[in-house]
Each structure stands twice: as C-alpha cells, then as structure tokens.
Structure 1
Amino acid sequence: MSKHDEPGKYLNALAFRATPDLVGNACVFVRDLDEATAKLWDDFDFQCKRRYGNDSAQVPYSIATTVLKVLTGGYVYFDPDKRGPFLASREPLDDRLLERVFTLTYHLASGAAIETIDLSAPPVLASRIAATPQVERRLAEHLAPTSRQQPTAPGWVFRTIGWDISRTLANRHLKISETREVKLRPDTGGGLVAIDTPWENEQGGRFALSRTALRLKTMPNIQSPILQLTSHVTRIDDSLVFASTALAVPRDEQHPILQIALNGRGGARTVNRLALEALGRLEMDYSILRAIDERSRREQKLLAEARENGERIRFARERPGQVWPVLGRNVQFPIGTGVGMHHLRKLHEHVETVFDGKAVPLVMREVAMSLPHRPTDPETVPKQELERRKQEKQETGSKESLRPRGSAFPSADSIVACIEAAGFKKLRLVCLWYRDETRLRMLKTLADTYALPTTGLDPVDGQEIELHGRSVTAVFCAAQEFLSPGRAEGRARALEAIRPVLALDEATTVVAAWCETEFPRPEHAEQEQAGYENLEELDAKHQTHAVLARLGIPTQYLLGRTDRGVVQVKKDDHPAEMALLDLYRSLGIIDDRIANALKPEKDSPRVDDLAHVGIYVRQQNRRKDEEGSPKVVITATAVVPPADPEGVWTMLGWSTAKPEWQPYRTAQTSFHARAYPEPGEKRTYRQRWDEAADDVERALRELAEELDGTGYVVTVDELAARRMWSGLQNVCQGADQASGKSKYWLPGSSLQSDQRPKAVVRVNIDDEEVPQPVSSSKVTKAGTSTDYETAQTLFRVETDFATPVWILCNVPRPFRGSGGRLGAKYTRWEAKKSVQSQVAAERRKGEMPQNWYSMTATEIYPIAFDPRISREALAIAAAKLCHQAQFWSDRSRYPVPLHAAKQMDLDHPQYRRTAQEDPTPAAEPETAEAVDDE
C-alpha cells in the first residue's frame, strides 16, 4: 500500500488532498444572496419567530429544500443564514420554478392554507430569490492552493464537493474479496450507501446498511483542503413513526438516495406535510414522499389500535423496499456497530483505484520516540524465560498468560505520599452497601489491592480495618435506606444513621465513599407510587452523590444489581477494580506513573518541569420549560510538578461553579454539590462564548499566581474550544490576531508575558474530523515495503509550511482482546453465523450482532507562546499522557489533565439527566467570520 520513497514507517488513512485534479470538471450552480434579499429574508425570519412565539424558531425552509430535492434529483444545498452563495445545486434550477417554490414556502410558513395561495402573485422575497443570477462554477477553481496559506475555499465548496466524488466512486463496485463486490449508491448528502446489499441478522427481519460519509476538512498549515471518508453501520428501524430520518430510493437509479428529515413527535413522525402540500400544488411527481406519508399513516393507525387495546405494538419486520427508516435510538439491536478494519482498507483501495493517482494521500511519518512502560503492561521477560514458560504451559495445559499484566493500582506507599503531600496523615475509605454480595466484592477488591490475607477478614459494620497501617483504613456500613432507589425525600434523615462512619478530623483525615447502587426498576416505581416514565427521579446514585458532595466527600459507585439479578463474580471483578481506581482519581491521587510518562526523550527538551493544565468546555443546553441563553460549563485541572524532583506530583481543580483553584478532590465535590447553572439572560452567541473565555482568563491568571513561577501548558479540546478562541481555528493559523472575532485569540493571550502559558495544545478526537487510519507501512533503506494492519504510535503529518500536526494512532482494547479482531480479515458481508453444538470446541457466537472495531486517532497540534519551547516535545508529552492514563490499564483519548477535567463533568449528579448533544458545527467554519453567525 505504501508509495513512499524515504525509509520509515508511515500511516495510511482515508484522507486525501482535495486538489483540482481530484474534482476534475465538476461544476455547481450557485446563487449569491445580495444585501437587499438578505434583509428581506431576515424580516421573514423575524415574522416566523413572532408567529411561533419563540426566539429560537427558524423559518421552516425545509419546505423549500425538500421540494427542490425531489424536483431536481436530490443535490440541493440551501443556507440563507450564510451571506454569499446561499443556494447551490448540481443541476441548474429554473427561475420560474424557483419563484413558485419560494412563494409556497413563504405563505405556508406564514400559516396560509395551500388552496388560498396565488402563485401568480409572488411575494417580493420569492421574486428576488428567483431573480438572483445563477452562476456555474467549477470546483477546481476554488481548490487551487495558495503558497504558505490556509485553504480559502468558500463554504458552499465544502458542502457540495461530495456530490460528484461520490458518484465517481459509485461508478465502480467496491471489491471486498477476490470473489465478491458490493454495489454503492450515492446519497444526497454527498456520501455512499450500499442499500442494495444490506446486512441482516441471523433470525431475519432486522437490517443495517453500510454508509460512507465524504467530508471536506482543513488541517493546520496544509494548503489544500482534506477529503476525509468515514464508514459506519446505519441500523434500520422497523417503524417509521419513531425515526427522525429516512432514506428513500428513487425510481431512477441515476438519482441519488434521498435522505429525508421526518417531522413530528415520536410515534407520529412523517415527512414535512407542508412540503407535501407544496409538491401537490405544483402538480409534480412526488410519489416517493407520498410513500413515506402513507406508511406513516398506516403505522400511526396500528399504534393507536394497540394502545387502545392495551397491547404492545410490534411492527412487521421485513426487508424495506423504497423507504428505509434510520434507527436513531440507542437500543439493543441484533446487528452490532462498526464496519471493521478490512472494510476500511478495501475502501481505501477503492478510492486509490478509482482515482488512479489523482487522490493524493496525506503523508504521515512515525516519530522517533519511546512510549512509557506502564505498570499495567505485561512484564518484560527475557527470551529464554519466555521459552521456559511456554514449554511449561504446554505440559500443564495452563491458560495463564506467558507475560502477566502488572497492576493498575497505585502502590500503597504512593497513595500515602499523595495524602501526606496534601497535608493529611490518613485516608479512610467508607464502603456503604446494602447487599452482602456487594460488601464481599468490595472487601475482596480491597484485600487484593493491599495484599491482605482474606482469611478471617470479615469486619463488622463500623469497625475500622487497616489496609496499610494507620495511613489507609476502611470501614464498612450497611446503608440500605440511604442508597436504595426511591424518592429524594428522606435521604437527609437516612444520612444521620451512617454519619458516624463519615465523620472525619478535617485536619488529619481524608474520607472517600465507595457506595453500592443499582438502576431503578418498575417495581421501585410501584413502591413509590411513581410513573414508570419517572424512573430516573428514583435513582439514588444522583441523589446521594449530591448529598455526600455537600459534605466534601468524593464518591464512586459499584453496581450491585442488573436486570439479570444480583451481580455474581466468578473470577476477576473488573467493575469493582475500575470503581476503586476512579475513586482514587476523584481523590486527586497522582502517583509516579505520570512522572515516568513525562520523562524527556534522549537529548530532547524537558516538559516534566511544567504544569499541565486541561480545560474542558461544554454547553449546558436548556432543559424543558427553561428560557434564556444556555450556560457554558467549564471544568479545569492542573497537574503540577513537585519543587523537589523526588517529590510528589499534585493535581488542582477548578470549575465555573466554584471558580477558584483547589485540590482536585475539593474542587470536584464543590462542583458536584451545586446544580448545573440555570440559563442566564439572553445573550448572543458571541457574547456567551466571550464571557466563558473571560472566566478562563481569570482562572489562568490566578493559576499563574498559585504556581509562583512554574511554567504551564494548556490543553483544550478543539471542537468545543474553538468557539471561544479564534486562534485555535485552522483558518487562523499564521493570521493576525485582529482577524479573529473572539475576544481572546488563545487561552491566556491577554495575560502578562510571565503569566501566560508556555503553549496551548489543541487536541481533537472527533472521528468525523480526524483522519481515519486504515493501516501502516514500513519502508526499509533498501526500498522494500511491508504493510501492517494496525499502528499504535505517534505520526507527524507532513505540512506545507509552519508547525505540523501529530496523529496518535490507537487500537481499541476489544480489538486486541482474546475475542476481538472481528473485521480484521473480512467484512460484515462475510460475517460468520453462530454454531450450536454439544462439543464446546465447535460452538461459536454469531459475528453479526457483535461490535467490529477500527483504529481511532487523536490529533495533537501545539501552538507555542514561547518560541523556545519545542512543539514536538509537547506533542510527544501529550501522546504519552494519553498512553499512560491516570488510573486505567489502557490509553485514554484525552491526555491526563483534560481527561480528569472532563471526568469532573461526567460525574456530576445531574449530567446524565440533563446533558444533550452539543450542537457543535459538523465542520469547522471555513472563514474566521463564520463562527460568529447564529
């Protein structure tokens, strides 16, 4: 697969330079929205907001887009909120037809009945849109690179480039083996879908599709935009009325598969009825939408009859014909997620074959570095000893690993050192339980962790046992009334019964709680006389977490019962181990594995004398019945080196709920003790994010004072943070700060030079934005090349100028496990079925229901304030802090400081009930100004 001349190891990915050669003669017809027409549209938008009584309401222009997609074969892009080209199509649009479509859209959105609309008297807005000149533009003209500059292609290019590329890729079948090919069809989003060859479960009746998205992105300091492909499993719902999207197959195969957004509430979803009325009035063929609407009506009738009879609805499960509803809910499904590595490699080959040299791949070369040896890695064993163990294993029939893993737990001495560094003498772990099975699991995990004999280890409630002398102790206490599911009322009273074991001498002792929990079940709702739809309100975990946080006690939970009954552990109790490790993280314990990870490479600049700060940002969306602007939730951590090289690293925390730097355990409990902020005054998009950046500037100023001369580096997530700081955006790399629309260019940029961070490290883990790795290739000095299925190291992207980007390649743990590697050698179309047999060796689980894993990647981009600091050293440090997680036996996608900051938010008692999908832009704005539009 490799085509590289220089010796080295290279990463192969589904990422190619979008050059003029790649798009060839592809053209798009665009219309520019002039200022007068834009003003008319804004007035129309205001009228709609006033009519619907909602400042967030938008003109339902999906009426126009749906109609135009049906009439033109599918390829239409319409975005009136962007100035400049706002309407694009692959085929030219008739002016008269366009005027009629927008006349109907205008009046229908204003509430007029379809039969009262006079098409011969169009409103001024519709006439002006139709009169806007239609210009044919070649995509290649906007992709020609400019020397040492970021790509400047307009937004419509990013939205439309996939139209012709997907059609070109669909002209040839995807070859998945020597004997089998799969037909691909383009869709209206500019992607590909194998709708003629769906995947089906073994029992039949449930389906999923292979879908490939084509997206145009930018990368820092690369002159051309990057075309990225991602392939995934799209599950098909057996009902339409609960789906939010449907795929519709047109009669003419020359037209793409239509992706149709469905309107209405769950249980009554259907196509946009106003669009149906408009198409009917235009007397055009819209049978494809009628088919969706008719199916919706049938299903709504069946649903109503089932509810009337008190029966559970079961829709017919058969292979869809023209309409394929997309399953949007995250529910159990007999077809797993993920397409597997072989599928991605075949897709990569397909692109290279079809474009025959015109698809220029990104060049990503491995960095010379050594990843730190983790305590959880298999032990290093001499070859001779390995051979001896192998022989012994064969003779005894043992199933033990030849190289057992080390412990994920910090040593008792390192825990004590962290506690003492915080100014305390003792750590007490309070284990709260209400099932004896859970109590025994907690006790065994603690005994294994601290190497205690289990014989005779059976403390009574309230008895304090020593885990590591008097420095680390544990006490058990039954707390059923406090911990079991139920209403929030009474938790404070139940707390009084266990308060003695929670009491602490704040001057000498740190207390942490390890609690049993379970998910509320219908019987709990019956006991509390609550509706089943309110089960979350009975979740004791959220309630007790807040109660204990107000006492300043870090808390983690262990699931004691599932839907299958009380948890019974046969061998290794990984859930208990992970819960205890997360409790250590909540305590802010940093052991020597972090110092070990940050040791500099030979002859490389040091970064282990810097504090590493992680800032995690998330918009807390409005909940039901709330008004005002959504609040921005920010959590931050600082992993601080010791003044004495032999000392202990420490971790500080900060949040918008308690905006001051505190020890991490205190910062987290302060944050969890408070409810998420309510929406504030109505603010513009720019004001909201500038205010959030104000908070961060104050926090960094205070941190610089706290560090008292120790330098620091800030790590942020690109996808969330680029709304706050223009200097993080790709288009702004190398630009003047005055070109940004945000208040601050980068985190800390307003501070005095001695208070600023040494650098900002931008991290991106979004699978839609980071190149999808498919394999790696090693080229020798002799020019021979060897391909490898996976890679786990750090690669530097060869840029055209300035600072490069680094890609840390990850292989998911399940893929490397004993039952993994599904999809490594073949695709889901060749998935093996289950085998039932009385002979254990012959039995086999079916492969279709299982998840098929692929490599992931973390993009790392350092931006230095201090020109003396090595960007490569920062990239390597970030990679090492992903590789060596704080307390986890494998990698995390985020470096330690950012991961710990995010975990503060994820652990908040309200998070799971209030967090919604953050409406982050799907692609980075192509201009610095675009990020300010709302």
Structure 2
Amino acid sequence: MITTLAFLFPHTALGKITLYPLDREFGEAWGNLPVYGDAKGGKPRRPPYSGLAAALSAVSGQPVVLMPHSYDHLEDELASPAVAVTTQPFDPWVLSTAVQQWESCIRKGDDLNTLAPLLAAAEVQKPELASYVRGSAQGRPHAPGWFYRVAAWNFAQRLARKPLPIPNGPSHLNVRWRMDTQGSLISWDNVTKRTTERPKRTGYAIHKLDFRVVTHPGEPLFALHVLPTFSRLATHWAGTRTAFIDHGKNTLLRMPIGHTRNSAGEWVPYARNYASEVVEACGMGFAEWPSNDDLTKLAGGVRALVPGPISHPLGKGVGTRFNSVLADHITETIQRPKITQISFDRTGIELVRPTKGAISSEHLDHALTATGRSHVRVIALYNEGTTRRRMLETLAPYAGDPAGLAACSDGDDHQLTARLAVRFQRLRAIDRIEQVDWDHELTFLDDLKDGALNGAWVETIWNPKPTKREREANQHRHDHKRDLRLALYRRDVVSQFLARLPDSEEGSDEPTADEEAAKDFKALNALRDLLFRLGAVDNRLAQVTQFTDEPILVGIHLRQQRVSNRRPGGADRTQMVEVLTALHTTSSPERAWHLESYDHTTHDWLQQAEAEAAFGRGPIGRPGHARHEEGALLTRHHIEAALKLLPSDRPLIIFVNTEACRTIWPGLQNMHFGAGELPGDNLRTDTRSVAIVAINTAYGEVPTPVVNAASNRKNPKRPPKPREYLYRRTSGTGTPTWYIAQASRSYDGFGSAGSIGGVHTRFTIPTDEESLQRKDWHSFTAVQITVPNADGRDPEHLAGLAAQLCHQSLAWDARTRHPVPLHIAGAIDRAHPEYRGPSIEPTEAPGAESDEP
C-alpha cells in the first residue's frame, strides 16, 4: 500500500465562509470600467476581478476571492453574477474606502465610485460550504468555481493552529505556520540558511504548503491535496514577481510586484493592483520596500521569491522524509471530523523492462523497416573534431567494419548495415556568433535525392555563453538550434542535437577502470533519440504487450499556446497545438510495429519522420481552435475527422492527456466521467472496439506518494519507495483508478546526493553534510490512469498496458510520464522550432485550399 499527501474529508468538514452576493448591476458597473495598464504602466487590459480581490486582501489581511457564481466554465466572467468570498466580514468603512480608492486608481483619478456602494449594499452571508455541493450521491460532486479555493482556506487555517514537530532535529524544533492571503501556509519564522565561500554569498528559503481541493473519478467526497514546496528567497529585487509582507497581523500579505524606475533612474519594486494606494487610503500605512542589502541580510518584514530558475546556494524540493513527517502530522491534527488519507493498493501487474539500452545491431535493420523506407541515412553535422570522434565511437557498434568507419571521409556515405548509412559533413557555421542563413549553408543536402530517409545528427553549443572578450565587445552568440531545425524540416529532415563537451572534458582519452563511467551517454542518448524520430521500432514494445487483435494505439496530444500580438494595444490570443500519433501493432514477429502521425495540411496519416517534418516547418498552432465553446467544437471535429482516416478494420485504443483534453471531451471530466462525449465515439461499431485510456500527470491533481507502507524494508535512512507494480484505488462508488508510483532516477542514484531528502529534512541535515543543501531534493511522484470507456476490454488490462508503455519506452532506459504514443506526440510538439515561441506565419499561396477537413 502506498500512502499519499491527499485526504478525503466529509462535507461536514468544509466549514463556513463569509460571502457577499453581487447582482447583475455590479457586473454592469464592472463592465464600464476603463482598460488599464497597472499602476506604473503596461499593456492596457480589462480589469480582472482578481485585481480588486488582491487589493482587498491587502487591507483586510485575509484571503479574498471575487469570482462569478457559476457551476460551469464561462468565457465571459461578467455573464454571471459574482460573489466576493473571504474568511471574516470586512469592516464596512475599510471595504468602502478600499474599493473606492481602487476604482479611482483604475480611472486615473476620476472618483465616480460606482462599485463601492454595490459591495457595501450586499447582504453578508455565512453559509455552510456544503450547501453549494451537487452530485455527491452519484460520485460526481461539483461546486461553483470559487468553492475549490475557499474550501482549502478552512483546512489551512485548522492545520496552522498546531506547529509541525520535526523529529530527530534540534531540540524542540516546531515549525510554526502563518497563512498568506492566497491560503498557503508559510514557515515564516523557520528559515533555512546556507552560506557559500566560493563565491561568497548567503541563500535563504522557506517551506510553503499549498492546498488544492479536487475531485476523483467516482468519488463522492472531495479530496484535499497538500503540495509542499521549498521556496527560495531572493537576495535582490531584479526580476522578482512575488513578495510576502508581514503587515502586523497574523496573516502574511502575498503581493504581485512590478518594477519601475525612480527619480534617480534606479529600478525599484511596487505592489501591483494598486495595493499600496489602497492600503494608504485606509490609513494603514505600508511596509517600506527593503533595499537589496536588506534582502541579502533577510532584514525587515518583506521577503521576495526568486523569479525563476537561477543559481542559488540552496536547491529545490523538500524531500520524502519531510513529506512523511507532514502526512503523519496532518492525520494526527485533523481528527474531528475525521479525514481519510488516500492510499493505493498493489495489483498483480508487475512492470517489466526486458529490453534496455539502444537498439541492438542485430535488430537495427528490422527496426528500420518501420520507417517505410529501404534506406536510412544519418547525416552527422559537426565542426569540432572531438564531436566527430564521439559520433564515430557511438556508431561503431552498428558498423560491420569499425576500422572502415573510422577511416571514412566527409561527404561520402559509409554503409553501416544493409539499411543504414552515415555521412559526415563539416559545418563551420555552427560556431558563428551571429545569425546564419541556414538555407544557404545546407544547399549540399539538395543533392541527396536517392529516396533515402534522412536524419541529421547535429553538433551544438548548448546554451552558448559569450566569452569575456565577446562581452566586452557587446557580442553575444546566437543559439542556432531553432533556425537550423526549421531549415532541416524544410528539407524533410528530422534532427537531434549533440551538445559539444566543455573544454574541461575535451581531449581526455585516458582509459578508465569503470567501463560504465567511460560511456558517452550524451552521444548514446542523442543517437537513440534520432533513431526514434526516424521511426525505428524494435521488438521491445511487443515483448511487454499481448495483442491478438492487432489494435492501433493512438495518442492525442493537445496544448494551448499563447501568441503575442505585437501591435500596440493588441490583445494576446491563444491557439491549440494538436499532434496525433498512431502506433500500428502486429502479432507477427516478422513484421515491425510502425509509427504514423497525422498531417493537418494534407489531411493524411504519414510515416513518423515525414509527418514530424511537415508539422515542424509550418505554423505550430491552429487558429480558432481552443479549449472551450466554439474553439473546443472545432478541435473535436477536426480530430474526429482525422481518426476516421485510420483503417476501419482495426480496433483502436486511444490514449489522451486528461488535463489537456477534458474540456474538449466532457466524458473525461470527473463530473461526467464515462458518460459524456469521448474521442472516437462515432467510430465504435458492433465489430470494432474503441477503448479510451486517460493519463493525468498534473501537479496538484495526482496524489503525491509518501511511503510504501507495505514494504518489509527496515532501512531507517529513507521511506520505502514504491515498487515496479501497477497500483489501484477504488472510489466510494466502486470506480477504479490506477497509478504508477515511482522514485526519480536521481533519488535512486548519485549516492547520498540522491537519497538525502529521504534521510533528513531541510531542518535536520547534519553539519558535515550541509553542502548537500545545494542539491534538489526529490520526492516520489505518480501517474494517474483512468479508463472512461473500455468498450469490452478488461479495464485493468488497459491500465496495465498504459503503465507498461510508460515503463518500457522506445528511446529511454527510464520511465516516461506518458505511454509511448502520447509521449511521441508530445516530443513532436516540443521539437517544433516555435515551441512556446512566436508562431510562424503561414506561407500558403493565395487561393490555397482551407486546412479544415
């Protein structure tokens, strides 16, 4: 049994809240507010409800939510009457003054005061939260959108009343929590500190507990997931976006902050959403922003979070030991009404990995038959001799004549196997600092018209940093990967990059006693990934699955990407990224499984490499497609049309990402689980099954495993980790949910650096191991698997199939978060040159046919 940091609680534990119902007149008044660009300038936008809520939190010292009172998603938040919800009633004068001042700031000084009278006139209510819950008896509880935030506040308040005792730590160490205005608990008085000598600096961090109320498939009760984080504090204001402020009350103010220049031309912080002006208008004063020197010394009542991934004396993560201590503390603290810790039970399905490592030389040609081509060529593009040598050594196991491979010259094909050849080509433009015209540099590829499938293995300078001389000359290296990948896609060539070794690692040809340590894993993994992108599939997947009806395994990957509008005053827009893959299975060992992906331009299923190139050279998203309303309908119809093109005489098993797809197909939502629309509904017939398997990896929605309580391991150093099995949990209405629980590779390896978070907490690490505070401390993770429609198959067998297709990946020796078809679809998306960047403008000629089916 695996215990978790998730708890079911009865409706009587939801408690009461303070609610201000607001009528449609308030919505109309809000709709008449002008657009604004924040207190210190910025892109004009329509004021969100959250802006006023943040200002009210600043004057009340309480969490505040201002949201529409609706059980359904709303495209327009003004379409439904709103409610303001908090923990205690506002002081009437403070409420009126704060709202009036906030509106005046929005209106740039005009005191029309349209909102404050409407809020002041609202009748304050103190209802039971349970009165807003619907559908519990059917195992489909749901509530208004604001409910889920507010329900977590009451739980956090109860937990904060009792300090967290830390066993095996300093004498009488108890972590005391303070709740911030977003409902998180902060270890304000228990700060972790570490000082380094080279360079000389000090870093600070606090423990933070976030809470999320969610539903589980078929579960009548709500679940509360506890999400511990180790939040590192900034020692300077540059780039910071969030600050905690001790404003003289027991609650900490969490403020979104911006930066502006003062009269001296220096960048200084300010509280966004006009919080400073609102607090001053209410006569409460405001904490003076500390200087960078104050942040370095942790002086004053303001602490800022680091803005993102940066070099810091302290690593991230709280570790498994802290999670275990916290879980026990929550169970002991919340007794009435009693909560139930969610746990998973082991099934009889063991996850195995009979094949590890790269595709073996004896299986390579058979695996390459899955590409659909008789000849495959690896084009090795390099500039530095060391990289060429690394490529040669990595390819050598596939060469029938290793000596001949070592002597091969650039510009000529060298045959490795009957199907695979390699061609080396020096590309000096790789080292250019400035941007390169890659279409010109790659003209030599235009001569390769022999019908072979080409894949480029390219040397790159990973995260190129300017040298001292370049910095002094104000020169910066251009990262060529996006531009070069696009130029290759335009030539129907997929690619994988190999990072050049740092100077400290180059030129070391000395033998080592540890043969494993001598392997060039970066080169090995890069070649494996390139073969995977070319579409090579060996027999490793067939070894861990048992099919007699040869189904097609489909992966549907969706992601919404924001596209910035560069026009002044223009609004950002979003577009849906859609990648569909199909893994065609076979029961014959003589035939290889093969991969296809859907091309939205030709409206056809293509071999994987060809489809990835087609996807990568065009715009990444599909305008008009979205997660809700008409955009969701367009997305659903487009994908259904693509699925209809698959062979109609083969059963389908469709894998989807729950979080990304549930607004497109309501049957994936817990509220309509298995009863609403699902992918492939119109493809199902009496003679053809279409099963749906949903995968959820969303942080906060999948319970965090704590300890394997069923393990016989007595090692006191760290909590027993999950085993290589599929786990199951059955809801109160009998609905099963399956889980893969796992420890990370870092947790399992790297000596004490990997396991330190299981041995100690951040508070109890011994002095002689203090340096390990700089490491990231890992916790156990889980993948949730549900089966909304098994269509005649055994649901647990489908869950086991999904788990095994995560455990036995095509290119990795470790587990992937998604089953192979879904993982491949995500990899194609991430390889697009404009992944999470600006979209490429369409290049179709005027009059071209629409890309809609």
Q: TM-score range by the shorter chain?
A: 0.7 to 0.9
In 1, Cα distance between the equivalents of 2:563 and 2:473?
Answer: 25
In 1, Cα distance between the equivalents of 2:405 and 2:642?
Answer: 51
In 1, Cα distance between the equivalents of 2:755 and 2:538?
Answer: 33
Q: Secondary structure of 1:44's partner?
A: coil
Q: Secondary structure of 1:230's partner?
A: strand
In 2, Cα distance between the equivalents of 1:366 and 1:235?
Answer: 36
In 1, Cα distance between the equivalents of 2:8 and 2:241?
Answer: 34
Change (3 A) 1:546 1:875: same
- The answer on whether the counterparts of 2:233 and 2:306 sit within 8 Å (CA) in structure 1 is yes
In 2, Cα distance between the equivalents of 1:130 and 1:722?
Answer: 39
Q: CA deviation at 1:645?
A: 5.4
Q: Secondary structure of 2:746's partner?
A: helix
1:209 aligns with 2:206: yes
In 2, Cα distance between the equivalents of 1:160 and 1:341?
Answer: 28
Pairing of 1:452-491 with structure 2 (within 5 A)? 453=402, 457-468=406-417, 470-481=418-429, 483-491=430-438
Kindly provide the amino acid, as one letter, of the partner of residue 763 in structure 2: W
Q: CA deviation at 1:504?
A: 4.2
Kindly provide the amino acid, as one letter, of the partner of residue 33 in structure 1: L
Kindly provide the amino acid, as one letter, of the partner of residue 259 in structure 1: R
1:372 aligns with 2:362: no
Question: What's 2:709 paired with?
Answer: 777
Structure 1's unaligned 5+ residue stretches are 1-9, 300-313, 377-407, 600-605, 738-744, 781-785, 835-843, 916-934
Which stretch of structure 1 is more off in the superposition, 509-518 or 209-218?
A: 509-518
Change (3 A) 1:724 1:655: farther
Question: What's 1:16 paired with?
Answer: 7
Pairing of 1:275-674 with structure 2 (within 5 A)? 275-283=275-283, 285-288=284-287, 291-292=288-289, 295=290, 317-356=296-335, 358-376=338-356, 408-448=357-397, 453=402, 457-468=406-417, 470-481=418-429, 483-497=430-444, 500=447, 503-506=448-451, 509-519=452-462, 521=464, 523=466, 535=477, 538-562=478-502, 571-599=518-546, 606=547, 609-623=550-564, 625=566, 629-642=573-586, 644=588, 646-656=590-600, 659-674=603-618
Q: CA deviation at 1:425?
A: 2.5
Q: CA deviation at 1:588?
A: 1.2
Q: Secondary structure of 1:111's partner?
A: coil
Question: What's 1:132 paired with?
Answer: 122
- The answer on whether the counterparts of 1:479 and 1:498 sit within 8 Å (CA) in structure 2 is no
Change (3 A) 1:63 1:906: closer
Equivalent of 1:187, from 180, 183, 187?
180
Q: C-alpha deviations, 1:670-691, integer Å up to 9, x for none?
A: 11122435x8479995222322
Q: CA deviation at 1:569?
A: 7.9
Q: Secondary structure of 1:247's partner?
A: strand
- The answer on whether the counterparts of 2:351 and 2:807 sit within 8 Å (CA) in structure 1 is yes
Q: Secondary structure of 1:769's partner?
A: coil
Q: CA deviation at 1:855?
A: 0.7
Question: What's 2:849 paired with?
Answer: none
1:849 aligns with 2:774: yes
Q: C-alpha deviations, 1:173-201, integer Å up to 9, x for none?
A: 21221454322222222222112111112
Q: CA deviation at 1:149?
A: 3.0
Change (3 A) 1:16 1:454: farther
Question: What's 1:838 paired with?
Answer: none
Change (3 A) 1:523 1:351: closer
Kindly provide the amino acid, as one letter, of the partner of residue 711 in structure 1: P
Equivalent of 2:740, from 808, 830, 850?
808
Q: Secondary structure of 1:911's partner?
A: coil
Q: C-alpha deviations, 1:688-719, integer Å up to 9, x for none?
A: 2322222211111112xxx2411111111112
Percent identical among aligned pairs is 24
Q: Secondary structure of 1:14's partner?
A: strand
In 2, Cα distance between the equivalents of 1:133 and 1:691?
Answer: 43
- The answer on whether the counterparts of 1:362 and 1:798 sit within 8 Å (CA) in structure 2 is no
The RMSD of aligned alpha carbons is 3.3
Question: What's 1:261 paired with?
Answer: 256
- The answer on whether the counterparts of 2:691 and 2:790 sit within 8 Å (CA) in structure 1 is yes
In 1, Cα distance between the equivalents of 2:690 and 2:820?
Answer: 18
Q: C-alpha deviations, 1:10-65, integer Å up to 9, x for none?
A: 11001111213544xx32111222233323323337x6699999998221555532
Question: What's 1:249 paired with?
Answer: 246
Q: Secondary structure of 1:511's partner?
A: strand
In 2, Cα distance between the equivalents of 1:194 and 1:755?
Answer: 60
Q: CA deviation at 1:752?
A: 6.0
Change (3 A) 1:516 1:68: same
In 2, Cα distance between the equivalents of 1:905 and 1:561?
Answer: 27
Q: CA deviation at 1:105?
A: 2.4
- The answer on whether the counterparts of 1:162 and 1:189 sit within 8 Å (CA) in structure 2 is no
Change (3 A) 1:497 1:667: closer
In 2, Cα distance between the equivalents of 1:696 and 1:539?
Answer: 35
In 2, Cα distance between the equivalents of 1:51 and 1:551?
Answer: 49
Q: CA deviation at 1:137?
A: 1.4
Change (3 A) 1:746 1:567: farther
Q: CA deviation at 1:245?
A: 0.5
In 2, Cα distance between the equivalents of 1:633 and 1:790?
Answer: 34
Kindly provide the amino acid, as one letter, of the partner of residue 189 in structure 1: Q
Kindly provide the amino acid, as one letter, of the partner of residue 270 in structure 1: Y
- The answer on whether the counterparts of 1:607 and 1:874 sit within 8 Å (CA) in structure 2 is no
Structure 2's unaligned 5+ residue stretches are 69-76, 262-266, 511-517, 713-717, 840-853
Change (3 A) 1:351 1:70: same
Question: What's 1:729 paired with?
Answer: 669
In 1, Cα distance between the equivalents of 2:542 and 2:346?
Answer: 24
Q: C-alpha deviations, 1:364-386, integer Å up to 9, x for none?
A: 2111112123322xxxxxxxxxx
- The answer on whether the counterparts of 1:29 and 1:91 sit within 8 Å (CA) in structure 2 is yes
- The answer on whether the counterparts of 2:597 and 2:608 sit within 8 Å (CA) in structure 1 is yes
- The answer on whether the counterparts of 1:242 and 1:268 sit within 8 Å (CA) in structure 2 is no
- The answer on whether the counterparts of 1:607 and 1:877 sit within 8 Å (CA) in structure 2 is no
Question: What's 1:169 paired with?
Answer: 159
In 2, Cα distance between the equivalents of 1:129 and 1:633?
Answer: 41
- The answer on whether the counterparts of 1:607 and 1:873 sit within 8 Å (CA) in structure 2 is no
Q: C-alpha deviations, 1:718-776, integer Å up to 9, x for none?
A: 121123222211112265x4xxxxxxx22223446479861221111112211000012
Q: TM-score, normalization: structure 1?
A: 0.79
In 2, Cα distance between the equivalents of 1:328 and 1:607?
Answer: 53
In 1, Cα distance between the equivalents of 2:86 and 2:190?
Answer: 29
Kindly provide the amino acid, as one letter, of the partner of residue 505 in structure 1: D
Q: Secondary structure of 2:349's partner?
A: coil
Question: What's 1:146 paired with?
Answer: 136
1:699 aligns with 2:633: no
In 1, Cα distance between the equivalents of 2:214 and 2:275?
Answer: 32
Change (3 A) 1:145 1:362: farther
1:73 aligns with 2:61: yes
Question: What's 1:304 paired with?
Answer: none
Q: CA deviation at 1:453?
A: 4.5
Give the number of aligned pairs: 800
Equivalent of 2:761, from 817, 827, 831?
827
Equivalent of 1:713, from 647, 653, 659?
653
In 2, Cα distance between the equivalents of 1:798 and 1:792?
Answer: 20
Q: C-alpha deviations, 1:855-875, integer Å up to 9, x for none?
A: 111011111162x12211111
- The answer on whether the counterparts of 1:351 and 1:359 sit within 8 Å (CA) in structure 2 is no
